[in-house]
Amino acid sequence: MTVHPAHTALWPAPHASGAVDATVHVPGSKSVTNRALVLAALASEPGWLRRPLRSRDTLLMAGALRAMGVGIEETVSSASSVSGERVTGEAWRVLPTDLHGPATVDVGNAGTVMRFLPPVAALADGPIRFDGDPRSYERPLNGVIDALRVLGARIDDDGRGTLPLTVHGGGALDGGPVEIDASSSSQFVSALLLSGPRFNQGVEVRHTGSSLPSLPHIRMTVDMLRSVGAQVDTPESGGEPNVWRVTPGALLGRDLTIEPDLSNAQPFLAAALVTGGKVLIPDWPARTTQPGDRLREIFTEMGGSCELTDYGLEFTGSGAVHGIDVDLSDVGELTPGIAAVAALADSPSTLRGVAHLRLHETDRLAALTKEINELGGDVTETADGLHIRPRPLHGGVFHTYEDHRMATAGAVIGLAVEGVKIENVATTAKTLPDFPDLWTGMLGAA
Ligand SMILES: O=C(O)C1=C[C@@H](OP(=O)(O)O)[C@@H](O)[C@H](O)C1
Ligand SMILES: C=C(OP(=O)(O)O)C(=O)O
């Protein structure tokens, strides 16, 4: 594999000279944008996404749907950038169509694209080939592949339960009941539910594994399905535990404004926490299924305080940062940012319930352990998480393994530790291409 020069570039992580005091406009949610694109593509009428996230993962999703025939028109309002404010007014108009192949889908390393689209492809007429970054060959997809076969799809793969593969879409899918083990990724469940209304018999997904991560992301799927008219029965709505049922039916085209990505707000909140400063995130939703909302509670326990108003979330650090003992199974994608703060705390931390992070963008438990320890830290991996004993840290290179959340975690440590250099900060483009500018903008405002 050729190493792109950008992958070896080192970004000197800015050191904070004082308490940050900034307003940070965080772009739209990756998880909401990619679900909204899929649902709009499967609808029976056109729809709008306002303020979608424009990042590698969402552009890959849009590109893949376009390759299957969906029209996605991007518009940028002319009044989009006012006196340095973040761009607003962007909108995508989605024009659904009869999906068709042949087509090739590049999933990059986007879990949402590699898991949510094979069921969509099963509804297309013609072969759809899926390929992606080398890491996409290692991330589990067996739950989706096996389930789709049970539901009537024809798929060619190499039998490893991962990419690459070809879905030979027949223009429709029987659907019906299916059992899966989604303990390695909640996205298996979300994937089958999202396309479920378009299967002839709908779908009934029964999770049989011992644990199920990222439940808020499954709730997000269910909420968004219901908002476009789908009927979904869930364990929470009186159904059986671990069973979700989607009734067949047409989906409405909606006009949806995408919430800011609360998991991408994490490094900015962390900046307020570790510098004893203040950060305001406008448009923080009062009610949301995004896992990042848990940061209000977690970062408060770690030493901050917050106030949610009609304008947004104001988060204030006290100057003290405490360790935490917390089960992150519901909110696994927050782990790298919490680990970074924990490494700077005044007491040890134990992060639990996140064994499945070994199969994320990189093996996040191994990567966090290695990189924090190379800066002088004392982190050990446990069976399902990390034990972090804070130590005085020193500068050095923080490797990121093509993981956006490793890069932002390294930047948080760099605020408190001089001389931290982030390798390949450009990898933040997966979900937050503006990260370096937003970060230096936040510090410039101090
Ligand atoms: O459905 C989604 O949008 C996501 C679900 C979670 O995946 P896992 O359940 O695989 O952790 C999360 O970590 C990922 O960032 C986004
Ligand atoms: C796990 C993540 O992404 P993906 O959607 O690729 O699974 C993440 O963003 O932390």
**Distance of alpha carbon 99 from the chain centroid:** 26
Round to whole Å and give the CA distance between 371 and 319: 25
Confidence of residue 78 (pLDDT cuts 50, 70, 90): very low
pLDDT, residue 8, reads: 73
Query: Does residue 3 register a pLDDT over 60?
Result: no
45 half-sphere exposure, CB direction, 13 A CA radius: 8
Query: Does residue 347 register a pLDDT over 80?
Result: yes
Mean pLDDT of 421-440: 97
Evaluate: CB of 112 within 6 angstroms of ligand 2.
Answer: yes
Binding residues: 30-31, 35, 111, 139, 185-187, 214, 333, 360, 364, 405, 430
* DSSP string covering 311-354: SEEEEEE-S-----EEE-GGGGGGHHHHHHHHTTSSS-EEEES-
pLDDT tens digit sequence for 195-229: 999 999 999 999 999 999 999 999 999 999 999 99
Query: Does residue 60 register a pLDDT over 50?
Result: yes
Contacts of 396 (CB under 8 A, 6+ apart): 374, 375, 419, 420, 421
pLDDT tens digit sequence for 145-198: 999 999 999 999 999 999 999 999 999 999 999 999 999 999 999 999 999 999
Residue of 53, 3, 5 lying closest to 25 (CA atoms): 53
Mean pLDDT of 247-263: 97
Using DSSP's 3-state secondary structure scheme, residue 158 falls into coil
| Candidate list 204, 259, 333, 361, residue with the active-site label | 333
pLDDT tens digit sequence for 356-378: 999 999 999 999 999 999 999 99
* DSSP string covering 373-397: HHTT-EEEEETTEEEEE------EE
Evaluate: CB of 58 within 6 angstroms of ligand 1.
Answer: no
Round to whole Å and give the CA distance between 91 and 148: 32
Q: Atom of ligand 1 at shortest distance to CA of 356?
A: 11
Q: Whose CA is nearest to atom 3 of ligand 1?
A: 31
Q: Atom of ligand 1 at shortest distance to CA of 35?
A: 3
**Beta bridge mates, 420:** 396
- Separation of CA 435 and ligand 2 centre (Å): 16
Note whether ipTM > 0.90 here: yes
Four-point Cα dihedral 394, 396, 400, 406, nearest 10: 20
Ligand nearest to the CA of 406: 2
Question: Alpha helices of 127-282 — where are they, by DSSP H?
Answer: 142-150, 187-195, 215-227, 262-275
pLDDT, residue 259, reads: 97
Query: What are the strands, taking DSSP E only, across 9-160?
Result: 10-12, 21-23, 47-50, 71-76, 90-95, 103-106, 125-131, 154-157
pLDDT, residue 76, reads: 76
pLDDT, residue 84, reads: 45
- Report the mean per-residue pLDDT for the chain: 95
* DSSP string covering 265-311: HHHHHHHHHHHT-EEEEET--SS---GGGGHHHHHHHTTEEEEE-SS
pLDDT, residue 289, reads: 98
Ligand nearest to the CA of 186: 1
Q: Whose CA is nearest to atom 12 of ligand 1?
A: 333
Evaluate: CB of 316 within 6 angstroms of ligand 2.
Answer: no
74 is catalytic: no
Residue 213, both tokens = 């991560």
pLDDT tens digit sequence for 268-306: 999 999 999 999 999 999 999 999 999 999 999 999 999
Round to whole Å and give the CA distance between 432 and 422: 16
Mean pLDDT of 118-135: 98
pLDDT, residue 380, reads: 98
Ligand nearest to the CA of 220: 1
pLDDT tens digit sequence for 4-47: 555 679 999 999 999 999 999 999 999 999 999 999 999 999 99
Q: State the pTM of this model.
A: 0.96
Binding residues for phosphoenolpyruvate: 30, 111, 139, 187, 364, 405, 430
pLDDT tens digit sequence for 127-137: 999 999 999 99
Q: Return the DSSP state at 420.
A: E
> Which amino acid would we find at residue 219?
R
Question: Alpha helices of 228-261 — where are they, by DSSP H?
Answer: none
List domains and CATH numbers for the chain: 5-26+260-444 (3.65.10.10), 30-257 (3.65.10.10)
Report the 10 Å Cβ neighbour count for 310: 5
Contacts of 242 (CB under 8 A, 6+ apart): 206, 207, 208, 212, 235
Evaluate: CB of 110 within 6 angstroms of ligand 2.
Answer: yes
- Separation of CA 319 and ligand 2 centre (Å): 31
